[in-house]
Amino acid sequence: MNSLSKLIGDENYSKLEELGNPHVMRIVERYVRLCKPAEVSVITDDPDEIAYVRELAIRNGEEMRLRMEGHTVHYDGYYDQARDKENTRVLLPPGMRVSPWIKTIDRDEGLREIHQLLDGAMRGKEMLVRFFCLGPRSSRFSICALQLTDSAYVAHSEDLLYRTGYEEFKRLRGSSAFFAFIHSAGELDERGCSKNIDKRRIYIDLIDGKVYSVNNQYAGNSLGLKKLALRLAVYKSHQEGWLAEHMLIMGVHPPGKGRVTYFTGAFPSACGKTSTAMLPGNTIVGDDIAYLRIDEEGNARAVNIECGIFGIIKDVNPVDDPVIYKALTTPKELIFSNVLVVDGVPYWLGMGRELPKRGINHSGEWWEGKLDEEGNPIPPAHPNARYTLRLRDLENVDPRLEDPEGVIVEGILFGGRDSDTNVPIYEAFNWGHGVYVGATIESETTPAALEKVGVREINPMAMLDFLVIPVGKYLSDYIEFGRRLKRVPRVYAINYFLKHEGRYLNDKLDKKVWILWAEGRIHDEYDALKTPVGYMPRYEDLNPLFREALNKDYRREDYELQFSLRIDRLLERMRRIEAFYGSEPDMPEEFWKIHNQIKADLKALREESGRSMVPPSYFE
């Protein structure tokens, strides 16, 4: 009898054998022997087998049924509530270089450590062998993903977030061209939470296309197919000439025009990414990760590698987020995590209603005034509490979500949080300038993040945490991608957070007008003002858009204040860009050429106009 068959049983072995893939066989056998699970279940695309995983999560206490049909809740450990940046590291072989902000560990050393931690990590538990597809099935965009885990919650979450992949693995015809993810929650405490969080490790092996994760349950650390797989895809796309991006994909539907224009968009955390993807009147293809490739006609096409959302639930309420709120409060299969539960009903921060004074949350039994071991007040729900649901359960899901050819990208949005410098929207002059715009995204820290407010952090394409190749090479890849396009997307800088005398100059829904203007520019419906930083909207175009889209008047004085060039602030920003990129090797020459041209034009404008703040009327 085959040695693997003895380990996992004939039925499981026959499922693996049917794939005809010796690489899958070797990985499964190696980690069954290393992790030593009590039993193994190989799960195919069969709905009954997938339902088994969901029920297993309930049976072993990783999830608890809630009152509403299909709803469950999961709790991570009290100190396992977010991505562990310190212990997430790239395994670096000799001679390989990444940008200095990426945490690394010597590859041989890291592999030794992680395999020691995985040795026996699944004792007494069931290993689930899962197959998923990153992207639509039968698509040239997509990448197969093998997941080994002892957490039914992890596997159930992936069933909501990704397409089934067992049949996709058959199409590999024995190839090793897939990602592999090995996860164990490790030893569990009395609440079923990971116990040895001091030994929490998430290691990414770019060379071998694997992610190792142990002693954790929070999805950002344990669901390898999400941001951890993004790092693998960045490395793979660099080798192969496409782009793996931290981007939304949305269909913009201008009222009365009978067309849809697809945009992607990159925004750092708390800069408006989800609210943009969910703008009323438009459709969502994805809110997090996109793969972009060039088709035979020279178009940029994008797919959402996911088919679900793992979203922050804080502040989701019926006024600001009606589509998501409705999805969260009607029967369907979805998972809440780290919320307050009372009598089978979930509650979260900012949901628009008063919260109960007692219940169950991520700390166990909870009551108002409860303190943790350090004496800190425990909120009723965690600020990073989440929901996991399928995109198809949203009323505004785009009909091309599952299109294997993806959607043609005609516009790209790069947004940051900036209180005093950038205008609400401007268009880049060309693709190279657009790359510069994306590379120089800045985001200010908020009171929730640090005691010191307003510290600006440059975050190229909102990818700083995920760039496993040097940033200069990453930007060169972007520029080269554009050179290969026959139909180049237009690129826009977005800023929803401009202030004057302490108040925001934009209402929350004004972003709808900025996006509609960008969509109209793509179809040559609006002229624009040429300025040193890019093309800016004309008041005559924005005013009717405000009336049509938001049924409100747009005052000329508001326009003048919002779209004035704050030259001194812009030049200060350029000095920060020089400090950030100045010592980075392999930077494309085009980047510095564009930077220096904008800098010279701004100085000339200040000299010519005699002003440090130049209104848009100056350019008419």
CA gap 557, 11 in Å, rounded: 73
Specify the DSSP element, H or E, that contains 29: helix 22-35
Neighbours of 95 (CB within 10 A): 5
Which pairs count as long-range contacts for 583-589, CB under 8 Å and 24+ apart, including other chains? Answer: 584/99, 584/470, 584/471, 584/472, 585/470, 585/472, 586/470, 586/472, 586/473, 586/476, 587/471, 587/472, 587/475, 588/472, 588/475, 588/476, 588/479
DSSP code per residue over 341-374: EETTEEE-TTSSSPPPSEEEETTEEEETT-B-TT
Q: Which of 318, 307, 320 is nearest to 388 (CA)?
A: 307
Residue type, 434: G
Tokens 């931690």 belong to 117
Q: Cα–Cα distances in Å, from 492 out to 230, 282, 429, 472?
A: 24, 18, 10, 21
Contacts of residue 41, Cβ cutoff 8 Å, sequence gap at least 6 = 12, 49, 52, 126, 127, 128, 129
Sort 610 into a burial class: Cβ within 10 Å, 0-12 / 13-18 / 19+. Answer: exposed
Strand partners, 543: none
| Choice among 133, 144, 193, 271 that is catalytic | 271
SS3 237: helix
Please indicate whether residue 271 is annotated as part of the active site: yes
**How does strand 71-74 pair with strand 64-65?**
antiparallel
Query: Which residues are tagged catalytic?
Result: 271
